[in-house]
């Protein structure tokens, strides 16, 4: 080789300016938002430490007298999460495909996207309240609320996985004269299967937590019991319930993590 080696590549000025604007913008946003969230009240954490100590002290003596039925309630909550997630996956598969640029024409894809946005935007507490009015108090309202909200989330995640696939195998399937639905089954599905399963499991984990919160609106399960004992200032009972939730959620996290690492 003749002559000296060229200098290392330099990021062009516009790219560096864009970085500055993006990161600087984020910093400015954080500063503007600080008063709105009463960030100054952090000092009260120290001032009110006695109240905190009383509250936490109550948890030091968990009451295990009803541990058996608490665990049964926890199981009911997990069953809600399981059914809610399963129904959500069933919604999300067709919606996710219909929301993908590389599968559906734009006049299908855009409306479906907006529908998914709407499903995600409405909090599941609101959807849950609606279903409580429709099907009455109890776990089914919770299941349906989880299904709709999670359906919106999974539909979006599924469609993003579909948009990231390699188009070449799909073209390979098309080239043998396959029907468009067969292209989806044989060309698209095998490529997205690991990601879809991973997303489904991840949502099951977080739904186990959401299902707890849904107890607040009378959707049954351990959440309802949690809010009842909190309302009754029964901190011993509350401590046991929280312990059961923490153990259950950790076990599910561990389990689904194991499955996901095996899949990918």
Asked whether position 103 contacts other proteins by CB under 8 A, the answer is no
For other proteins, which is the closer residue by CB, 152 or 187?
Answer: 187
Asked whether position 102 contacts other proteins by CB under 8 A, the answer is no
Q: Which one of the spans 15-23, 24-32, 78-86, 174-182 is the region binding other proteins (CB under 8 A)?
A: 174-182
Binding-site residue total for other proteins (CB under 8 A)?
A: 20
For other proteins, which is the closer residue by CB, 87 or 178?
Answer: 178
Asked whether position 178 contacts other proteins by CB under 8 A, the answer is yes
Asked whether position 172 contacts other proteins by CB under 8 A, the answer is yes
For other proteins, which is the closer residue by CB, 146 or 192?
Answer: 192
- CB of residue 174 to other proteins, shortest distance in Å: 7
Residues 6+ apart with CB under 8 A from 168: none
Q: Distance between CA 36 and CA 14 in Å, rounded?
A: 33
Cβ(147)–Cβ(129) below 8 Å: no
- CB of residue 193 to other proteins, shortest distance in Å: 7
Site string for other proteins, 181-220 (x = CB under 8 A): xx--xxx--xx-xx--------------------------
Asked whether position 19 contacts other proteins by CB under 8 A, the answer is no
Site string for other proteins, 223-242 (x = CB under 8 A): --------------------
Asked whether position 164 contacts other proteins by CB under 8 A, the answer is no
Structure tokens at 120: 């995600």
Asked whether position 43 contacts other proteins by CB under 8 A, the answer is no
Residues near other proteins (CB under 8 A) are 168-169, 171-179, 181-182, 185-187, 190-191, 193-194
């Amino acid at each position: 080789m003749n002559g000296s080696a060229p200098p290392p590549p330099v990021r062009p000025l516009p790219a560096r300016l864009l970085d500055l604007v993006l990161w600087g913008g984020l910093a400015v946003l954080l500063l503007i938002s600080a008063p709105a969230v009463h960030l100054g009240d952090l000092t009260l954490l120290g001032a009110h430490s006695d109240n905190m100590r009383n509250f936490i002290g109550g948890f030091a003596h968990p009451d295990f007298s009803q541990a058996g039925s608490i665990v049964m309630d926890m199981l009911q909550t997990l069953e809600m999460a399981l059914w809610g997630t399963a129904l959500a996956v069933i919604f999300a598969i067709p919606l996710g495909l219909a929301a993908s640029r590389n599968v559906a024409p734009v006049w299908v894809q855009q409306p479906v996207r907006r529908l998914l946005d709407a499903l995600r935007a409405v909090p599941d507490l609101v959807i849950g309240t609606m279903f409580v009015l429709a099907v009455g108090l109890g776990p089914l309202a919770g299941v349906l609320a989880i299904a709709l909200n999670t359906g919106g989330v999974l539909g979006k995640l599924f469609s993003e996985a579909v948009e990231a696939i390699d188009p070449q195998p799909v073209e390979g399937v098309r080239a043998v004269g396959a029907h468009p639905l067969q292209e989806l089954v044989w060309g698209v599905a095998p490529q997205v299967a690991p990601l879809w399963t991973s997303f489904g499991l991840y949502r099951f984990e977080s739904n186990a937590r959401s299902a707890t919160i849904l107890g607040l609106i009378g959707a049954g399960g351990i959440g309802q019991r949690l809010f009842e004992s909190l309302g009754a200032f029964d901190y011993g009972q509350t401590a046991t319930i929280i312990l059961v939730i923490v153990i259950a959620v950790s076990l599910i996290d561990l389990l689904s993590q194991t499955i996901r690492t095996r899949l990918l």
